[in-house]
C-alpha cells in the first residue's frame, strides 16, 4: 500500500494585462503563459490577474492548476465608478487620454487590478506576486500589500525601447514609472538575459543584490514536428518595427529575389511605426508601399497580421519551416529565436542583444549585424549550404532549444528563488 501524501498548494499571483489569447501582444504575454505553466507544474496554485482587451466583464477561467481572473475596468461600487469616469475626473481623463494614452492605461490597469487583487487576497492569501516590469502592472498592489513578496521580470524596459521609437512625454513617464516600480517595489528582479542583467546593474548599481538572471524558456514539446526543411521560405515573426530590423530584411529579400526566383518572404506580425521616410517617421505599411517593388517580387512577399491563437500560429510556422531571420537593432532576448529553433528553422539572429546568448554562430544558427550587407551575406550563406549541412544545423538548433531553453531548465532556478523568499 502506497503512503498517503498530502500536497499543499501555495497560492501565487501573476499580474499583467498581457496574457494569451486576448492580449497576446508580444513577448510579455508569451513569458507570462510559460511562467504560469512552470509554476503550476511545480505544485503552486497560479492565479493570473489579467485583461481581455476590453475590460468590460469580470470573469474567471480555470485551466488545471491555473485560474485566470479577467479584470473589469469598473468596481462594484457605483459611487467610485461615478467619481472615476464622470465627475470630477472625467475632464482630467480626457486630457490624459489625448496626450498620455499609455500613462492613462497604466493608471486604469493598476487601479482596477488593485480592487480585483484585494477581493482575491481575502480568499487566497497570496505569498508571492510575479509581474513583468513593462507597464508596471502590480505597482498599486505592491504599494498597498508591501508584505507580499514581489518578483519582477525585466523583459525589455521602456527606457531602452525609447531609443528606437518616437520619444514623447508619454513614453518618458512610462519609463520613469517602470524604474520606480523596479527599484522600490520588488524583492527580486529577474532579467531575461545576461545582456539585460548587465544593463540593469550598470544603470542602477544600488539594487545589484536583488537582480539575477534566468533566461526565458518555452515548452519545447509544443514545437516538435517532422516536417521537411524548406529553405525557399524566409520567415520573420514579430511586430513589424524599425527596432526589429524588418526594413533591412525586406530590402535584402528584394535584392536576393532578383536572381533567385524560388525564395519567398513571409512576414507574420502587426504593423509598427517609426520607419524613416524622408524627413518623416511612418508606419510600416506606408514605408513598404513606397518601395515600388517589382510585381514579380512583390507577389512573393506574404504578410499575415498578428496571429493570437498559438495553435494556429504554430501550424503555420511548422508548415513554412525554413529560414527565420531576426535582424534586430535591439532585442533584450527574443522568444522568436528559441521558438524557431525548437521547430527546426535555420535561424539568423542579431549581435545586438540577447541573440548572442541563444545562437552559437555557425553551429546551430548564424548571427549578423543589423545591416544590409551582413544580413545579405548570411542569408546567402544559409541558401548555399548543402542539404546535409542544413539538416545538421537544423537538428543542432532543435537540440539547443530542448537542452538549454526548455521549461524544465528554468524550473530548478525558479523554485530556488521561491524557496529562498
Determine the pLDDT at residue 308.
81
**Domain of 374?**
220-404
Domain co-membership, 200 together with 260:
no
Determine the pLDDT at residue 6.
37
Query: Exposed, middle or buried by CB within 10 Å (0-12, 13-18, 19+), for 239?
Result: middle
Domain co-membership, 274 together with 153:
no
Determine the pLDDT at residue 307.
86
pLDDT interval class at 304 (50, 70, 90): very high
Asked if residue 237 lies in contact with residue 212, where contact means CB atoms within 8 angstroms, the answer is: no
Domain co-membership, 274 together with 159:
no
Q: What percentage of the chain reaches a pLDDT higher than 70?
A: 98
Determine the pLDDT at residue 104.
95
Q: How many other C-beta atoms lie within 10 A of the C-beta of residue 203?
A: 13
Determine the pLDDT at residue 181.
95
* Chain centre distance of CA 61: 22
Query: Could you tell me if residue 2 is inside a domain?
Result: no
Domain co-membership, 195 together with 234:
no
Mean pLDDT, residues 148-171? 87
Domain co-membership, 243 together with 166:
no
Is the pLDDT at 1 greater than 50? The verdict is: no
Rounded to an integer, what distance in angstroms lies between the CA atom of residue 15 and that of residue 104? Answer: 18
Least confident of 81-95, 206-220, 221-235, 313-327: 81-95
Query: Could you tell me if residue 5 is inside a domain?
Result: no
Domain co-membership, 415 together with 364:
no
pLDDT digits (tens, 9 = 90+) for 352-376: 977 899 999 999 999 999 999 999 9
Backbone angles phi, psi at 287, to 5 degrees: -60, -45
pLDDT interval class at 160 (50, 70, 90): confident
Determine the pLDDT at residue 309.
84
Determine the pLDDT at residue 205.
96
pLDDT interval class at 7 (50, 70, 90): very low
Query: Could you tell me if residue 3 is inside a domain?
Result: no
Domain co-membership, 120 together with 31:
yes
Is the pLDDT at 100 greater than 60? The verdict is: yes
Domain co-membership, 164 together with 112:
yes
pLDDT digits (tens, 9 = 90+) for 176-231: 999 999 999 999 999 999 989 999 999 999 999 999 999 999 999 999 999 999 99
Domain co-membership, 277 together with 325:
yes
| Dmax (CA) of the chain | 78
Backbone angles phi, psi at 243, to 5 degrees: -55, -35
Domain co-membership, 258 together with 345:
yes
Is the pLDDT at 2 greater than 70? The verdict is: no
- Whole-prediction pTM value? 0.92
Nearest 5°: the CA angle 104, 106, 109 is 105
Q: How many domains does the chain have?
A: 2
pLDDT interval class at 5 (50, 70, 90): very low
Domain co-membership, 231 together with 196:
no
pLDDT digits (tens, 9 = 90+) for 47-65: 999 999 999 999 999 988 9
Query: Could you tell me if residue 304 is inside a domain?
Result: yes
Determine the pLDDT at residue 90.
87
On the question of a cis peptide bond just before residue 88, with omega within 30 degrees of 0, the verdict is: yes
Least confident of 75-79, 103-107, 266-270, 314-318: 75-79
Determine the pLDDT at residue 241.
93
The whole-chain average pLDDT of the chain stands at 92
Domain co-membership, 36 together with 117:
yes
pLDDT interval class at 269 (50, 70, 90): very high
Strand partners, 233: 264
Domain with residue 238: its CATH number is 3.40.50.2000
Amino acid at each position: 500500500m502506497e503512503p498517503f501524501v498530502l500536497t499543499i498548494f501555495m497560492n501565487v499571483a501573476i499580474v499583467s494585462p498581457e496574457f494569451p489569447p486576448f492580449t497576446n501582444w508580444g513577448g510579455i504575454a508569451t513569458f507570462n503563459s510559460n511562467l504560469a505553466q512552470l509554476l503550476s507544474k511545480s505544485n503552486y496554485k497560479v492565479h493570473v490577474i489579467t485583461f481581455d482587451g476590453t475590460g468590460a466583464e469580470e470573469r474567471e477561467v480555470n485551466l488545471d492548476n491555473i485560474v485566470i481572473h479577467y479584470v473589469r475596468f469598473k468596481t462594484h461600487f457605483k459611487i467610485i465608478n461615478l467619481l472615476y469616469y464622470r465627475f470630477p475626473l472625467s475632464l482630467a481623463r480626457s486630457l490624459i487620454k489625448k496626450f498620455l494614452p499609455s500613462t492613462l492605461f497604466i493608471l486604469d490597469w493598476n487601479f482596477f487590478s488593485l480592487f480585483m487583487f484585494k477581493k482575491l487576497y481575502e480568499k487566497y492569501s497570496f505569498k508571492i506576486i510575479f509581474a513583468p516590469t513593462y507597464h508596471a502592472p502590480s505597482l498599486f498592489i505592491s504599494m498597498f500589500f508591501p508584505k507580499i513578496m514581489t518578483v519582477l521580470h525585466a523583459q525589455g524596459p521602456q527606457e531602452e525601447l525609447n531609443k528606437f521609437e518616437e520619444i514623447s512625454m508619454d513614453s518618458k513617464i512610462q519609463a520613469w514609472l517602470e524604474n520606480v516600480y523596479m527599484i522600490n517595489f520588488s524583492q527580486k528582479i529577474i532579467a531575461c538575459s545576461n545582456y539585460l542583467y548587465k544593463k540593469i546593474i550598470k544603470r542602477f548599481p544600488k539594487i545589484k543584490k536583488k537582480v539575477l538572471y534566468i533566461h526565458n524558456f518555452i515548452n519545447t514539446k509544443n514545437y516538435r514536428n517532422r516536417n521537411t526543411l524548406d529553405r525557399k521560405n524566409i520567415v520573420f515573426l514579430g511586430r513589424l518595427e524599425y527596432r526589429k530590423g524588418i526594413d533591412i530584411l525586406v530590402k535584402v529579400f528584394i535584392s536576393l529575389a532578383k536572381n533567385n526566383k524560388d525564395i519567398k518572404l513571409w512576414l507574420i506580425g502587426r504593423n509598427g511605426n517609426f520607419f524613416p521616410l524622408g524627413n518623416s517617421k511612418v508606419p510600416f505599411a506606408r514605408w513598404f508601399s513606397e518601395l515600388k517593388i517589382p510585381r514579380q517580387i512583390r507577389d512573393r512577399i506574404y504578410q499575415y497580421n498578428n496571429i493570437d491563437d498559438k495553435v494556429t500560429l504554430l501550424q503555420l510556422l511548422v508548415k513554412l519551416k525554413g529560414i527565420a531571420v531576426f535582424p534586430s537593432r535591439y532585442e533584450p532576448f527574443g522568444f522568436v529565436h528559441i521558438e524557431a529553433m525548437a521547430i527546426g528553422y535555420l535561424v539568423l539572429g542579431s549581435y545586438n542583444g540577447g541573440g548572442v546568448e541563444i545562437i552559437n554562430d555557425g553551429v546551430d544558427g548564424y548571427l549578423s549585424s543589423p545591416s544590409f550587407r551582413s544580413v545579405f551575406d548570411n542569408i546567402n550563406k544559409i541558401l548555399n549550404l548543402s542539404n546535409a549541412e542544413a539538416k545538421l544545423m537544423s537538428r543542432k538548433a532543435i537540440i539547443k532549444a530542448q537542452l538549454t531553453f526548455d521549461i524544465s531548465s528554468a524550473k530548478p532556478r525558479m523554485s530556488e528563488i521561491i524557496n529562498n523568499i
